[in-house]
Amino acid sequence: MAAPTVRSDVLYFDGDDAISYRFRGKTVSTLQDTISFNFKTLERDGVLMHGEGSQGDYITVELKQAQLVLHISLGSSPLHSSEGHTTVTVGSLLDDHHWHSLHIDRYGQHVNLTLDGEVKHFRCNGDFDQLNLDTEVFFGGVVNQEKQRLVYRQNFRGCIENIYFNGAHIADLARRKKSNIRFEGRVGHYCENPPYAPITFAGINNYLQVPGIPRRNRMSVSFKFRSWDTVGLLMYTSFADRLGSLEMVLSEGQINVSITQPGKKKLEFAAGYRLNDGFWHSVLLVARDGSAVVTIDDDDGAEFRVAHPFQLRTGSQYFFGGCPKPASITGCLSNQTTFHGCLQMISVDAQPVDLELLKYHRLGKYSDVFFDMCGITDRCTPNLCEHGGHCLQSWDDFICICDLTGYQGETCHKPVYKESCEAYRLSGKTTGNYTIDPDGSGLLKPFTVYCDMREDRAWTIIRHNRHYATRVLGSSVDRPFLGAVEYWNASWAEVSALANASEYCEQRIEFSCYNSRLLNTPSGLPFSFWMGRHDQRHYYWGGSRPGIQRCACGLDKNCADSRFFCNCDADHALWRVDKGLLNFVDHLPVTQVVVGDTNRSSSEAQFLLGPLRCYGDRNTWNTVSFNKGTVLLFPTFQVNQSLDISFYFKTTSLSGVFLENSGYKNYIRVELNTTRNVLFAYDIGNGHENLTASSIFPFNDDEWHWVQAELNVKMVRLRVDELPWVVRAAPPQTYVQLEFDKPLHVGAAEHKLRPFLGCLRGLRVNGVTLNLEGKANETEGVRVNCTGYCQNPRVPCQNSGLCVERYSHYTCNCSISAFDGPFCNRDIGGYFEEGTWVRYNILSASLYATHEFASIVSQPLPGYNLTSEEVSFSFSTTSAPAVLLYVSSFVKDYMAVLIKDDGSLQLRYQLGTSPYVFALTTKPVTDGRPHRVNITRVHRTLYTQVDFFPVMEQQFSLFVDSKLDSPKNLYLGRVMETGVIDPEIQRYNTPGFSGCLSGVKFNTIVPLKSIFRPSSMMVHYNIRGELVESNCASMPLSTMPIPPEMDPWYMGTEFPHVHDDGWIGIIIGFVIFLLLLLGGLLVLLYLYYHRYKGSYHTNEPKAIQDYSSAVKPLASRKDQNLPQILEEAKSD
């Protein structure tokens, strides 16, 4: 079955033709219109359609500078202040002789204008919905000239196809010559193609070589061209007989012609202006001996003539668009860059060049050119330069001139100015006037404010026209006085953006009245009020609070009349004042003050408004923490030409998605890919791409990191903190296509995949701050502020353990603690037999020599000339004397903790010349019980504590050195140091310590933990004798109950048992069930057959018991002679 054919009705207009479609009535009034047709032309200007009415309504579609322009008005009236005229422009380069499709849909004031699939929706100005047209509507131009709106507009020249107007097929009616179609001129029912075709020059070495007639004394060359480039070779030819050459170059929008001859000065001249505007321009060069004429765009009145002595003999070859290589063989000696653009209607020596012969290599030569097409592209329509930036383009690229816009970057997207006075203060600026841009790369313009810099904050101050008192007379509720507040240098929207981004704002308002009421009205609605952000009315005044209709005196209960809540509501014939601060930031700024009770005799009111004063930045510190795998959903954001994303994050996770937005084809995603990589993945129509910002340091260090990602038609780039930008140039294209149809996911990818655990703050997309705190839900795992588990852990990390935030949980880092376990509360120690000792090497001799030399050249290295120590350990023993801990040095300095003969504990220090002795205990500690020792020295102050006794503070002499100089080794159990040792140490050193030591820590050195829990391949210790690991039943520093769910050794309330899984358990259960069932049947049978056994029936009369009698019946006779036992006595 053959497919149905689509009929095409085409009309051709030659610039003097037009048709009109007459309505059935004299006028037509429509609420809804549908208009569509296709067109193609080589002209840049021309009226495609026009209709108008006597009431001021009209609709016009025309080409203007090769763009399609729609003018529409639904009428104007002197009773309405708004103007009804609306103009919308779409498309560019529509004079390319290609078919273009136009579709207009209107319903009331809403219009969809579609050109070649590009839809532009707009709303008509004015207050009317009906389009009223008189008599007829025109296509291709106008039939008569009484339509005064279109005077000096030229008619359309080209083809129009399938014209539909509100259901009427105009082209079909014209073909059938219906009576409601009126013709002007000779409208053809065909589409005439031009007799010439363009050539596109788009290569690196493109050229077109055309032969000419040699040795003539007259040269004539003409052609048409269009281009965006500022520089390019249009034509070059060498004269015959080596008389020189002529070169024609497009340079800075002009045609530059230079004639070079041997032994003579080069002749140069120029013609034309702004010829690189992308439109077709004609060039005619006529030269003969001693003169040359250049004519641009067939304007004889603007032709350029030059007279100069030179000799002309035409050459045999003409080169257009560039020179072939090598120049020595081809004879094209121009050093100009190649031309990129289109040429047509080339003529040499007054003879048109046959491009068909050129195409098939029958005439001349060419390279990198395309016949029968003009591939020029307008990269500045629509203008991709934002914020009013000026677009300049070449053949394959464009640049944005951002001067005086307040923005910078490839597309004028990045703001030049900071977002607040606070940002200027943090950068070191002082009080003064500054330009700020509160919405960053958003649509609002930057503006100038006064910044009052204080030590702890910066006040932003914006003044306005209501700073001084405004007098109001003759206003009423029906006709109130509207006191609009016009802020200096800024619109209401821009000032609102500042207030919205500020932590605190205030405005002082003062209302003075004389026999004029403020809030009190008989109907309950206030006489006067003020309007704030989003044009919302507010009925509370300065000093009061939102939500209550009062003034400051109404809160303080001291108004002039206690029956009212404002002083002015007393309606006294004397001046009263209500004043105070408005400081609810979400209602500010004040945009209008409305006064409505000054129309009575002697009534008068005055008001004044202070400047808007703000400080702080609540956008940057809009913070949430993700404590489990969840996601925040925000509305899909629309991207025009550019996209920028910025935020701060803090985490300890290995990976996670910060945000993702996706559509049917496009998506963007920013994620922590690895601990050292932040990834920006996207698809803007060119396939999957990604950028990676890498660092040698991990990003999951639980510190804040700043991420910036930007995407536009020119490039994509990513930056983290102050690292260099990672940039990828975008492929040549005219727009960025990002169409998202799903919500913006923050905190995870779609379906909560790859969740991020950590903190996010200051998330901004295209200058808009996303309110993360407003979406926080603690039950879903999102908390306000950066609050992890380390802020208030259920079980704190103990014994110098560091809490490591994991955001979904926490862990304890026990690396610098002498303990281990999940909370650094499990002691690590060793049992020392008599004679066992441990030496831990703090500093080797070679390193000591190096550090000694370094201390001469520069300051001593920290950790080796110690002005403070922290020592802690536990021990238990029954023997004395003994050296528990000894720290030696490369000089005579040492530190020792020892047990004397009497069992008491002693601390000895030598800092310089003589030792200092401190008694830690007076009672013996050789009772076999665990004892805890803590020693801290800071310069010449010593703090000691044994067990749970109070901390003792003691002082060294001022003449004693404050440094334990260059510690060498740490000994446990016994001192085996070479060299001179203090005799007192030698006295207690034999036979050695016998007992248990645990939790030993000297500053950051944990020797026993290094032995039993090695974390490094390097061995810093030596052991002599038997050393067995033991916790020594040491005393805990603090007792902390551990919840069962956090105890890794908690086994639950049930004892562990063996599970018999599979069929065995089922079979055993079934057997038990059968046994129980059999047992139940046997019991029932037994009861049935023995139900009468042991019972008998008698006919003896039974005694009747009188329940009303209070006398108890006597016991039976057989019981009277038996003794009564208390426990067996019958109860009542």
DSSP state of 154: P
- pLDDT, tens digit (0-9, with 9 covering 90-100), for 346-355: 999 989 999 9
Percent of the chain past pLDDT 70, that is, above it, reads: 89
CA–CA distance, 182 with 25 (Å, rounded to integer): 16
Average pLDDT over residues 404-420: 93
List the single range of 46-60, 784-798, 906-920, 994-1008 with lowest mean pLDDT: 784-798
List the single range of 410-419, 837-846, 890-899 with lowest mean pLDDT: 837-846
Average pLDDT over residues 1094-1111: 39
Is residue 4 predicted with pLDDT exceeding 50? no
Average pLDDT over residues 379-408: 91
Is residue 1102 predicted with pLDDT exceeding 50? no
Average pLDDT over residues 505-517: 94
Query: What's the pLDDT score for residue 1112?
Result: 39
Q: What is the mean pLDDT of the chain?
A: 86
Phi, psi of 470 (to 5 degrees): -110, 120
What is the full DSSP assignment across 183-225?
EES--BSS-PPPS---EEE-STT-EEEEE---S-SEEEEEEEE
**Architecture (CATH level 2) of domain 10-184:** Sandwich (2.60)
Tokens at residue 404, please? 């005086």
- pLDDT, tens digit (0-9, with 9 covering 90-100), for 76-120: 766 655 678 999 999 999 998 899 999 999 999 999 999 998 899
Q: What's the Cα-to-Cα distance from 133 to each of 26, 137, 521, rounded to whole Å?
A: 9, 8, 50
Q: Largest Cα–Cα distance in the chain?
A: 172
CA–CA distance, 820 with 826 (Å, rounded to integer): 5
The answer to whether the CB of 867 falls within 8 A of the CB of 963 is yes
CA–CA distance, 45 with 66 (Å, rounded to integer): 6
Strand partners, 105: 34, 112
CA–CA distance, 822 with 797 (Å, rounded to integer): 8
Determine how many CB atoms are found less than 10 A away from the CB of residue 1110.
Answer: 5
Query: What's the pLDDT score for residue 305?
Result: 87
Average pLDDT over residues 467-474: 92
Is residue 603 predicted with pLDDT exceeding 80? yes
Q: Residue 765 is which amino acid?
A: V
Query: What's the pLDDT score for residue 1130?
Result: 40
Is residue 684 predicted with pLDDT exceeding 90? no
Sign of CA dihedral 924, 929, 934, 935: positive
Query: What's the pLDDT score for residue 1057?
Result: 46
Q: Which of 472, 427, 716 is nearest to 598 (CA)?
A: 472
Tokens at residue 1088, please? 């049935």
pTM of the shown model: 0.75
**Architecture (CATH level 2) of domain 199-371:** Sandwich (2.60)
List the single range of 556-560, 654-658, 756-760, 1093-1097 with lowest mean pLDDT: 1093-1097
CB burial string 1071-1102: b at 16+ within 10 A, e below:
eeeeeeeeeeeeeeeeeeeeeeeeeeeeeeee
More confident residue, 466 or 151: 466
The answer to whether the CB of 644 falls within 8 A of the CB of 441 is yes
- pLDDT, tens digit (0-9, with 9 covering 90-100), for 1009-1035: 989 988 877 778 899 998 998 878 765
CA–CA distance, 787 with 802 (Å, rounded to integer): 17
End-to-end Cα distance, the chain = 111
Query: What's the pLDDT score for residue 1090?
Result: 63
Element (H, E) at 651: none
Average pLDDT over residues 266-287: 92
Average pLDDT over residues 970-993: 88
Tokens 């030993």 belong to: 1000
List the single range of 163-177, 197-211, 960-974 with lowest mean pLDDT: 960-974
Average pLDDT over residues 289-318: 87
Q: What is the band of 1043 on the pLDDT scale with cuts at 50, 70, 90?
A: low
Q: What is the band of 381 on the pLDDT scale with cuts at 50, 70, 90?
A: confident
Q: Residue 252: CB partners within 8 Å, gap ≥ 6? A: 230, 231, 276
Query: What's the pLDDT score for residue 1115?
Result: 40
**Helix, strand, coil percent values for the chain (each to nearest 5):** 10, 40, 50
CA–CA distance, 150 with 159 (Å, rounded to integer): 21
Average pLDDT over residues 970-996: 89
Pick the CATH number of 623-784 from 3.40.190.10, 2.60.120.200, 3.20.20.10, 3.40.50.300: 2.60.120.200
Is residue 452 predicted with pLDDT exceeding 50? yes
Percent of the chain past pLDDT 90, that is, above it, reads: 54
Instruction: Enter the CATH code of domain 379-416.
Output: 2.10.25.10
Q: What is the band of 1041 on the pLDDT scale with cuts at 50, 70, 90?
A: low
Is residue 1132 predicted with pLDDT exceeding 50? no
List the single range of 230-244, 452-466, 629-643, 699-713 with lowest mean pLDDT: 629-643
The answer to whether 10-184 and 379-416 have equal CATH topology is no
Pick the CATH number of 828-1029 from 3.40.718.10, 2.60.130.10, 3.40.190.170, 2.60.120.200: 2.60.120.200
Q: What is the CA angle 1067-1068-1070, rounded to 5?
A: 65
Is residue 1045 predicted with pLDDT exceeding 80? no
Is residue 307 predicted with pLDDT exceeding 90? no
Q: Which of 614, 597, 860, 646 is nearest to 768 (CA)?
A: 646
Tell me whether residue 121 is exposed, middle or buried, using C-beta atoms within 10 angstroms of its C-beta: 0 to 12, 13 to 18, 19 or more: exposed
- pLDDT, tens digit (0-9, with 9 covering 90-100), for 904-928: 999 999 887 778 899 999 999 999 9
Is residue 403 predicted with pLDDT exceeding 60? yes
What is the full DSSP assignment across 346-360?
EEETTEE--HHHHHT
Average pLDDT over residues 212-236: 94
CA–CA distance, 957 with 975 (Å, rounded to integer): 27
- pLDDT, tens digit (0-9, with 9 covering 90-100), for 828-860: 999 999 989 999 998 764 554 554 444 443 444
Query: What's the pLDDT score for residue 801?
Result: 87
CA–CA distance, 319 with 207 (Å, rounded to integer): 7
CA–CA distance, 234 with 294 (Å, rounded to integer): 14
Pinpoint the alpha helices (H) of 827-922: 845-857
The answer to whether the CB of 607 falls within 8 A of the CB of 595 is yes
Q: How would you classify residue 629: left for phi > 0, otherwise alpha for psi between -120 and 50, otherwise beta?
A: beta
Domain-wise residue ranges, the chain: 10-184, 199-371, 379-416, 458-615, 623-784, 828-1029
Q: Residue 831: CB partners within 8 Å, gap ≥ 6? A: 995, 996, 1027, 1028, 1029, 1030, 1032
Q: Which fold has domain 458-615?
A: Jelly Rolls (2.60.120)
Tokens at residue 1074, please? 């059968």
